[in-house]
Chains A and B, each alone.
Chain A
Amino acid sequence: MTTYSDPPSESFQLSMLVNDTRYRSITFQVVALILLAAAIGFLGWNLMRNLALLGQDISFEFLGEPSGYDINQRPIPYDSQSSHLRATFVGVLNTLIVAFLGCITATILGVVAGVLRLSNNWIIRKLMMVYVEAFRNVPVLIWILIIFFVMTAALPPPSAFRGDDPDSSMLFGAFAFTNRGIYIPRPIWEPGSAIVVGVFIASVIGVFAYRRYTTRLLYDTGKLLPRGWPSLLILFVPTLLVFFILGQPISLDLPALRGFNFQGGTQIRGSLIALWFALAIYTGAFIAENVRAGIQAVSHGQTEAAASLGLRPGRIMNLVVLPQALRIVIPPVISQYLNLTKNSSLAIAVGYMDLTGTLGGITLNQTGRAIESVLLLMLFYLTISLSISAVMNVYNARMQLKER
């Protein structure tokens, strides 16, 4: 006779929450969650109670009121009668402008410096080492201020361009370098200019198509067509032809000294230049190190193998080493882009009206809504950073080694 006995059915006991490994981890997570929620709850309660004691409340109504202040760099129409919200968006756009310019310049500087740091030429190698170490190890705020003050002190004020025998003169009659910024010509779009732009865009696409064609031809038949001068030809000849056939529909608005300042053209303000270059050379130094690390992580055997196939050093770098190094370089570079964007909040040091200068500066100060403004400020920076991160992660995923 066989007797079957069920395993003793364990009734659930409270002690099992701690002693039983099946439940223990959940127990602790729940406890941690409750504690966290309680802590947040306490801080929130504390904030509201103290605000109430001070007779204040949380309200975002101030965003709709007229700001009352002017901003010098306005990517979108704005005046002192616009709302605080609009001033905030002007600030967001100014932040994005300097972050965009800074990231591109930093990448170029960083890649060049990173590659040259591994150069066989002693002087170039050491020069790049000095660049990286000097810029990486001095706070970026100092660089912003140095560039700004050097610009202010070294470049002439607009009044130096005045008179019959001025101390300063414009470069090519079109560019004015003053301590208030650089004035450059601005294109004036007349009817027909859209066609010229369209042809130019088509030319750019054409260049890519041509280069693709040569690559395929090379792989298929081994025949190497020249790429440099045909690319230039495709890029410029059709556009110039259309430009002259249509009777020069794009002209230039040259800056000229009128009254106190240069008028006309586009002004790139000293504050933007200082911020842009300081952020670019500072972050560029970090990117250079990332690039160097990436290159050195590519096995030296690859270089030697490529060399033994007869490739020249430039080709080895461009065709063999860099594509592999890029996979290693991209993730840390994303974080450098984020750093650059966040560091742009130092803009107020030189009076560049970015997000921190408008919402976190004048708006906060004039309305006295510190908590609301700072919360919004964090939200905007978070959104910008996460967006950059998302875009770069997509790029990173495309560049990653595809395992099949």
Chain B
Amino acid sequence: MKKSVFLGALTVAGLAAGAAAAATLDDVKARGTLNCGVSTGLAGFSAPNANGEWEGFDVAVCRAVATAVLGDPNAVEFVPTTGKTRFTALASGEIDMLARNTTWTLSRDADLKFTFIGVNYYDGQGFITPKALGVSSAKELDGATVCIQTGTTTELNLADFFRVNNISYEPVPIETNAEAQQQYLAGACDVYTTDASGLAATRATFETPTDHVILPEIISKEPLGPLVRHGDSEWGDVVRWSLNAMIAAEELGVTSANVEEMSSSTTDNPEINRLLGTEGNLGEMLGLEADWAKNIIMQVGNYGEVFEANIGESTPIGLARGLNAQWTDGGLLYAPPFR
């Protein structure tokens, strides 16, 4: 009996580990599609639209990588993952990269053996609560019932916050954002906590968003970024520089509207020329076509465009750029030089 149990575990583990091989870039090219892990549905970040097409801020990163590697933003197989399944999916090779508002932490980097290739959204954990409760600070939440997505860093931050402030709470662990919304709206919990961006996205889908207030406390740093497996640096480089290309393009003023014109001839700015492949051989170094970054900007857009289209102030989610502005505008976005 014990033997067969052990056998089963080994089989599963063996299969899972066996699939994780190097040379992801070649695999993706040979397959013709990119397997990209996203959330099971978080408005603005990754959610299927009315036509069943995935769209959102994280989805754009997937599309950018697919464009860089395959030249086609639609050559992506989106794999919905929950907070619990996402790391197993990536470690086992089921997905090539994960773009699912995942917080960059040391243990995930070093212990879980993943490589975070950058940050596409600087976030922090916040609380949302009905206005009717009359709460104005998270420190007044003594004895409250808190809905929380299980398997996330928010769970640990929450425990720390309440312990440090010496107040009690009752956690209600929930698997997905959608279920958490339902429980919160039914009054089964007083507070819902997740990343502030996620709260804004969730509130935007409520019937009367103004009845709910996001508390001022941000209790943690949550740098959200795409990640890949350890041990395949070439692939990590491709994903990292796809994201950097979007950020750099915004800084350099390259948009999906003017990229065609800018790349038709060499411009005065050598950095733009190198980015768009009219000068130098940066694409070749990454194992990509020379016009990889041009394709990303043309077909997906630069960072600012993607932000405004999916989660910016003109959208129902209505997030301000804040920390996610370019470093030249007082934000934290800073793409290393294209050289």
A374 to chain B, nearest CB (A): 6
- Residues on B with C-beta less than 8 A from A138 are none
Which B-chain residue is minimally distant from A149 (CB atoms)?
Answer: B182
* Per-residue A-contact encoding for B226-258, CB less than 8 Å = 1, 0 else: 000011000000000000000000000000000
Q: How far is the CA of A361 from the CA of B6 in the complex (A)?
A: 20
- The stretch from A41-49, A105-113, A119-127, A183-191 touching chain B is A41-49
Report the interface size for chain B: residues with CB under 8 A from the other chain. 57
Kindly list chain B residues whose C-beta atoms are within 8 Å of the C-beta of A374: 9, 12
Contact (Cβ within 8 A) B163 A80: yes
A252 at the interface (CB under 8 A from B): no
Q: A179-B188, A258-B143 are in contact. Are A46 and B10 (CB under 8 A)?
A: yes
A304 close to chain B: CB less than 8 A: no
Tell me whether B18 is interfacial, beta carbon within 8 Å: yes
Contact for A157 among B12, B155, B160, B187, CB less than 8 A: B187
CB of B17 within 8 Å of the partner chain: yes
Q: From known contacts A259-B142, A348-B175, A370-B88, infer whether A46 and B20 are also in contact, taking CB-CB under 8 Å.
A: no
Kindly identify, within residues 368 to 397 of chain A, every residue whose CB is under 8 Å from any CB belonging to chain B.
368, 370-371, 374-375, 378-379, 382
Within 8 Å of chain B (Cβ to Cβ): is A242? Answer: no
Chain A nearest CB, measured from B100 CB (Å): 14
The answer, yes or no, to whether B133 is at the interface (CB within 8 Å) is yes
User: Which residues of chain A are within 8 angstroms of B150 by Cβ–Cβ distance?
Assistant: 348, 351, 357, 361-362, 365
B107: which A residues are within 8 A, CB to CB? 368
Residues 143-177 of chain B, each 1 if its beta carbon lies under 8 Å from chain A, else 0: 11100001100011011101100000111111100
Instruction: Kindly state whether residue B132 has any CB partner on chain A within 8 Å.
Output: yes
**Shortest distance in angstroms between B93's beta carbon and chain A's nearest beta carbon?**
10
Within the assembled complex, what's the spacing in Å between the Cα atoms of A153 and B189? 12
Complex CA distance for A351 and B111, rounded to whole angstroms:
27
B184 to chain A, nearest CB (A): 11
Q: How far is the CA of A353 from the CA of B150 in the complex (A)?
A: 11
Question: Is A55 a contact of B172 with CB atoms below 8 Å?
Answer: no
A179 x B145 contact (CB < 8 A)? no
Question: In the complex, are the beta carbons of A179 and B186 less than 8 A apart?
Answer: yes
Q: Does B3 reach chain A (CB closer than 8 Å)?
A: yes
What CA separation (Å) do A55 and B113 show in the bound complex?
Answer: 8
Contact B18 A180 (CB under 8 A): no
Among listed A63-71, A204-212, A291-299, A318-326, interface-contacting one: A63-71
B180 to chain A, nearest CB (A): 10
Chain A proximity mask over B59-100: 1 for CB below 8 Å, otherwise 0: 000000000000000000000000110011001000000000
Report A249-268 CB contacts with B as 1/0, cut-off 8 Å. 00000000011110100000
Is A302 among interface residues, defined by CB-CB distance under 8 A? no
Of B113, B170, B174, the contact of A54 (CB 8 Å cutoff): B113
A102 within 8 A of B: no
Q: Using A361-B84, A382-B5 as known contacts, say yes or no to A180 and B145 having CB atoms under 8 A apart.
A: yes
A378 CA to B183 CA in the complex, in Å?
31
Contact A50-B9, Cβ < 8 Å, known A72-B172, A261-B144:
no
With beta carbons under 8 angstroms apart, the residue of A40, A56, A70, A366 that contacts B7 is: A40
Judging by beta carbons under 8 Å apart, are A351 and B14 in contact? Answer: no
Q: Please name the residue on chain A nearest to B3 by beta carbon.
A: A40
B250 CB to nearest A CB, Å? 34
Q: Does B339 lie at the interface of the complex (its beta carbon under 8 Å from any beta carbon of A)?
A: no
Q: Does A53 contact B (CB under 8 A)?
A: yes
Give the distance in Å from the alpha carbon of A68 to the alpha carbon of B152 in the complex. 12
CA distance A50 to B231 in the complex (A): 13
B30 close to chain A: CB less than 8 A? no
Given contacts A371-B9, A382-B5, contact A353 B173 (CB under 8 A): yes
Name the distance in Å between B15's Cβ and chain A's nearest Cβ: 9
Contact partners of A40 in chain B: CB under 8 A: 3, 6-7, 10
Residues of A within 8 A of B7 (CB): 39-40, 43
Do A50 and B14 touch across chains, with their CB atoms under 8 A apart? yes
From residue B276, how far is it (CB to closest CB) to chain A in Å? Answer: 37
Taking the complex as formed, is A159 at the interface, i.e. its CB lies under 8 A from any CB of chain B?
yes
A303 at the interface (CB under 8 A from B): no
> Is there contact, CB below 8 Å, between B87 and A261?
no
Chain A residues with CB below 8 A from B108, complex form: 368
- B21's nearest neighbour on chain A, judged by CB, is A53
Selected contact of B143 from candidates A263, A271, A362, A378, CB within 8 Å: A263
Task: Kindly list chain B residues whose C-beta atoms are within 8 Å of the C-beta of A362.
Answer: 150-151, 155, 173
Chain B nearest CB from A94 CB (Å) reads 12
Known: A152-B188, A368-B87, A382-B5. A349 touches B159 (CB 8 A): no
Instruction: Indicate whether A153 sits within 8 Å of B186 (C-beta atoms), given known contacts A368-B87, A375-B9.
Output: yes
**A43-B10, A47-B14, A159-B187 known; A261 and B170 CB under 8 Å?**
yes
Within the complex, what minimum Cβ distance (angstroms) separates A290 from chain B?
Answer: 24
Q: Pick the contact of B17: A54, A258, A366 (CB < 8 A).
A: A54
Are B3 and A46 in contact, with the CB atoms below 8 A?
no
Contact A351 B160, beta carbon cutoff 8 Å: no
Check B113 against A44 for contact (C-beta < 8 Å).
no
* Cα–Cα, bound, A224→B329 (Å): 96
> Is B195 interfacial (CB 8 A cutoff)?
no
Alpha-carbon distance between A351 and B173 when the two chains are bound, in angstroms: 5
B interface list, Cβ under 8 A from A: 1-3, 5-7, 9-14, 17-18, 20, 83-84, 87-88, 91, 107-108, 111-113, 132-133, 141-145, 150-151, 155-156, 158-160, 162-163, 169-175, 182-183, 186-190, 230-231
Known contacts A55-B231, A80-B160; can you find 20 more A-B pairs with CB under 8 A? A40-B3, A46-B18, A53-B17, A68-B155, A68-B159, A70-B171, A157-B187, A159-B132, A159-B187, A179-B186, A179-B187, A261-B144, A349-B175, A351-B172, A361-B150, A361-B151, A370-B13, A371-B13, A375-B6, A375-B9
25 contacts between A and B (CB under 8 A): A43-B14, A46-B18, A47-B17, A50-B13, A50-B14, A51-B17, A55-B230, A69-B155, A69-B156, A70-B171, A72-B171, A80-B156, A157-B186, A179-B186, A263-B143, A271-B172, A348-B175, A351-B173, A351-B174, A357-B173, A362-B173, A364-B84, A365-B83, A365-B151, A368-B87
Interchain residue pairs A-B with the least CB separation, the first 6: A157-B187, A50-B17, A80-B159, A43-B10, A368-B112, A365-B151
